Chains A and B, each alone.
Chain A
Amino acid sequence: MIELSEVSKTFGQQPAVERLSLTVARGEFLVLLGASGSGKSTTLRLCNRLLEPDSGSIHFAGTDLRSFEPHVLRRRMGYAIQSVGLFPHWTVAQNIATVPQLLRWSKARIAARVEELLSLLHLDPATFKDRYPHALSGGQQQRVGVARALAAEPEVLLMDEPFGALDPVTRQALQEEIARIHRVAGTTILMVTHDVDEALRLADRLVLMQQGRVLQQGSPAALLAPPLDTKVAQMLGGRELGLRRLALQTVASRARPELASPGPSIAADANLREALDLMLQQACDHLNVHDAAGQPIGRLYLADLAEAGA
């Protein structure tokens, strides 16, 4: 979908991105993770020509980026940023309709799309459609920002630390939202973040960036699997390497097919980190596991968790 080859970009004397090659596959959720100044935002902004590379080439849907008119290209890509940037003088509905209106969709189609997106992001259309941005909470503003980015059914959604300014609860709710939208709509998403847990939770593929280069890439599980490069361990693990490994595995993957016994129970699609937390809270060394319908399907043991986190 997007293909960067040998791309470099320098600001003044400071190289932001150096000979970077990266491919974003169609339908993929790709997360760029790195510290401030690692070049991840620059990479994102190169993709919709907010920045032009000094050297190297970028292709979108097989065509060189330079042969697109910038504004035509950008209308095919959604864009959501941490500061949201809603138009303060437009209502929520008008804000969401920005790109469809530029593409001259019919009024009826725009209205239908606005309703659909508001519902998709769990904002009641009747309540929020005619509000102005200043009358929304930070989380609601970001929901509208995401809805606006998705409005014209873009082929790619570019997100630059979209949830960085939100409180943990709202952030997690929106992360679940975006994961669901990705599953349902299959939109290709390229997201930049410095939040390790967010990256691990959302990414199909994770690209670790450092000083304008790709340090390593792969699926979250593969990146966390031993043996770990020290730099990667430092970036991804910190002091929670084992817990993060647990967070990537479901209860179902480690449950033993045994009969249920009295005691606490956990859903099969919960992750192992949540299971560990429950065991600690309940001071027990095993949990019953039940499926979505509530039927017991087995048991999970603390010893298995120790194995899974290693």
Chain B
Amino acid sequence: MTIRNRVLLCLMLLGLPAALWLAFLAEAPNRLVSGQGQPLAHYLAGPRYLLLLPLIAWLAAVFARPSPRWQLCIIACSGAWLGGLTWLAGDAARSIAQTASPLARTSLGGAFWLLCLLGWLAAGDATARLPSSWVRRGQRQLWALLPLLPVLCLLASGQLDELSLLKEYHNRREVFTDALVAHLTLVLGALLPTLALGLPLGWSLYHRPLRQGPVLAVLNLVQTLPAIALFGLLIGPLAALAAAWPALGELGIQGVGAAPALIALTLYALLPITRSVLSGLVQVPATAREAATAMGLNGWQLFRQLELPLALPVLLAGLRLTVIQLIGLAMLAALVGAGGLGTLMFQGLASSALDLILLGVLPAAALTLLVDAGFKHWAANLKGALP
């Protein structure tokens, strides 16, 4: 027997100690006390051992001659594994809830997260190995998201409601919704001015190469400022503005709140957008540009018919990174009172409630994954994209 899939074997070996020694679930008398951890084996009995079936399939896949069918099998097993572990956690939490006090909390332990992550990485690796004849360009990311579907179904079915994380959610449903909406508003609110400034800026820098150095230097400088420092730096001037013209304050331009957050986020996002416009335009062949000019395309037609379509793939890649960066940075906006998912995270940090932290962090991570897959899908399906 030769080992044909080292990645999968490695993932499985990494999971072994986690499964044996890390806590799968932690049972605590209330939400603030760290609980008593129990390993995975504690919750396995009788037919529940069937949940380990994916492991056997994976083990077989390690030694099997690689083929697209085996990769599909690995992905399917990953779905079963993620769904199985999640179901097990939810089910255990329910049975604990029937006996324990209403204040008792069952939270997900390190083994759960690690095993889920390893299982999902196996799917990610398998998707990357699928031949391109099986996967349409740009759809790999979507394939890698498939194993998360069973988890989402369980989440929607209420099977997981007794888990501490979900209890935090139900206790703060309105706060959570507000935070999510505020977060998305911050990201979009920063993205629109970024595009409005960054696209023309990148375009004009391309046509005036002498200005590239200084302008990019300034944008780089902004990028090196720590985010929290930039938020803080903006509080002073904006508060002074609001004091000098109270009308501005009524419009929401104050030292704290959305204004400094949006300004800071826009400043951060300006560099990647401008850079990607610039590098997108640079790779438009000079000869095609000359021919276009000589054939009588005017400035707008040159942009619309030649520059934009050829620069778009690079531009979209830059846009993808920018949005992901914005989702992350917007977490910090909570510090200047702009709301967002960061509010939950910082509240959790302040009261050392791990599940509350997760309630803020997990949706942001999920947003990032969605944005990443969405943009890659879009970029790959561009009309007239070069093969």
* Interface footprint category on A: 20 to 34
B interface residues, tally (CB under 8 Å): 22
CB–CB A83/B296 < 8 A? no
Does B384 belong to the interface (CB within 8 Å)?
Answer: yes
Interface of B is mostly: helix
CB within 8 Å for A85 and B288 given contacts A90-B384, A102-B301: yes
A73, A86, A132: the one contacting B291 at CB < 8 Å is A86
B289, B290, B384: the one contacting A89 at CB < 8 Å is B384
Q: How far is the CA of A198 from the CA of B175 in the complex (A)?
A: 79
Does B285 belong to the interface (CB within 8 Å)?
Answer: yes
Does B310 belong to the interface (CB within 8 Å)?
Answer: yes
CB within 8 Å for A71 and B297 given contacts A89-B310, A90-B384, A134-B386: yes
Residues in B whose Cβ lies below 8 Å from that of A50:
290, 293-294
Q: How far is the CA of A87 from the CA of B301 in the complex (A)?
A: 13
Residues in A whose Cβ lies below 8 Å from that of B296:
70-75, 99, 102
B343 to chain A, nearest CB (A): 45
CB–CB A99/B294 < 8 A? no
CB within 8 Å for A81 and B291 given contacts A71-B297, A88-B310: yes
Closest to A70 in B: B296
CB–CB A85/B285 < 8 A? yes
CB–CB B287/A89 < 8 A? no
Give B289-327 as 1s and 0s: 1 = Cβ < 8 Å from A's Cβ atoms: 111111111100100011001100000000000000000
Residues in A whose Cβ lies below 8 Å from that of B289:
85
Residues in B whose Cβ lies below 8 Å from that of A29:
none
Residues in A whose Cβ lies below 8 Å from that of B298:
71
A71, A72, A85: the one contacting B287 at CB < 8 Å is A85
Residues in A whose Cβ lies below 8 Å from that of B288:
85-88
CB within 8 Å for A102 and B297 given contacts A89-B309, A89-B310, A134-B386: yes
CB within 8 Å for A85 and B290 given contacts A74-B296, A75-B296: yes
Q: How far is the CA of A6 from the CA of B116 in the complex (A)?
A: 80
Does A79 belong to the interface (CB within 8 Å)?
Answer: yes
Closest to A73 in B: B296
Residues in B whose Cβ lies below 8 Å from that of A75:
295-296
Does A42 belong to the interface (CB within 8 Å)?
Answer: no
CB–CB A85/B309 < 8 A? no
> Which residues of A from 144 to 194 have beta carbons under 8 Å from B?
145, 148-149, 158
B365 to chain A, nearest CB (A): 35
CB–CB B287/A79 < 8 A? no
Residues in A whose Cβ lies below 8 Å from that of B295:
74-75, 79, 98-99, 102, 148-149
Residues in A whose Cβ lies below 8 Å from that of B285:
85, 88
Binding site for A on B (CB under 8 A): 285, 287-298, 301, 305-306, 309-310, 384-387
Binding site for B on A (CB under 8 A): 48, 50, 70-75, 79, 81, 83-90, 98-99, 102, 132, 134, 145, 148-149, 158
Query: Which 5 pairs from chain A and chain B are nearest by CB?
Result: A85-B291, A74-B296, A85-B287, A75-B296, A83-B287
**14 intermolecular pairs with C-beta atoms under 8 Å apart:** A71-B296, A71-B297, A74-B295, A81-B287, A81-B290, A81-B291, A84-B291, A85-B289, A85-B291, A86-B288, A89-B310, A98-B297, A132-B387, A145-B291
